[in-house]
Amino acid sequence: MTWQHKLKRFLSGGGGSQDLSVARSLIFINLILFTLMALHGTVQGLEMRAIMNPPTQLLIHWGAQFWPFVFNQGEWWRCITYAFTHGGLIHLAFNMVVLYMVGPRLEFEIGKAPFIVLYVFTALTGTLAGLLWHPMTPVVGASGALFGLIGFSVAYYHRIGTSIAIQMRNFFFQWAVFAFIFGLFIGADNAGHLGGAVGGVILGFLMPVSFPGQRRIAPALKGLATVCVVLVALSLGGLVLSWF
């Protein structure tokens, strides 16, 4: 099997499906961006530090959220690109493992379009919380959006109300509490985590749980998902253009 076939199989989730998995595509984008950042840092003489503990300047160059640049230099795209930039290999690995575990299941549960909207929306609510709490601190990582997925799951499964759904709700709630407490010990961006989780809970209570309700709002969600995809593409494009 060639690497092209292996990549296609990964992005489609395997099993012979021809549709791209949104969650796996997000993982792929994160991996590519981190690899390019690490190569850039290595060329700059940072060597292993570029991989394990990139300096702040390198992170900002590769899309970290930094509100002074958003307001003073119009770099609005940082509100999205920060969620694809990571502060080291361990940071990246932890977030991608969580996305790999949670993302495909939730994507299958609610559909691709709602998943796209959920991920992008909670990435935004996560960074807005950071603006309120620490506007002068550079921020990177997908964890705001990941907490958004978890917050959504807590609210969504709670509303479904079946015994299995309640078990899922409790699992995600316990995981969120553990991750939040762990974040306090390692100095993580818990403001962003909380902002993402709140955004997820809001969407979890707004999302219809019945099939007829989901079908009614499907066209609107597809439109919003298209807007979100364009926003991500423009943000990554804005990052690249900022280098010239």
Query: 3-state class of 65 per DSSP?
Result: strand
Q: Which residues pair with 139 in a beta bridge?
A: 65
Q: Report the chain's C-alpha Rg in angstroms.
A: 18
The question of whether 61 is a catalytic residue gets the answer no
Please check whether residue 78 is in contact with residue 63, taking contact to mean a CB–CB distance below 8 angstroms: yes
CA nearest to 115, candidates 1, 22, 227, 15: 22
Q: 61, 86, 91, 143: which is the annotated catalytic residue?
A: 143
At CB < 8 A and 24+ separation, what contacts does 223-231 make? 224/113, 224/117, 225/112, 225/113, 225/114, 225/116, 225/117, 228/116, 228/117, 228/119, 228/120, 228/121, 229/116, 231/80, 231/120
| DSSP code for 84 | G
Please check whether residue 83 is in contact with residue 27, taking contact to mean a CB–CB distance below 8 angstroms: no
| Cβ density class 133-151: b for 16+ within 10 Å, e for less | eeeeebbbbbbbbbbbbbb
Task: Give the whole-angstrom CA distance, residue 88 versus residue 98.
Answer: 16
Please check whether residue 54 is in contact with residue 41, taking contact to mean a CB–CB distance below 8 angstroms: yes
Q: 61, 91, 158, 193: which is the annotated catalytic residue?
A: 193
The question of whether 193 is a catalytic residue gets the answer yes
Active site residues: 143, 193
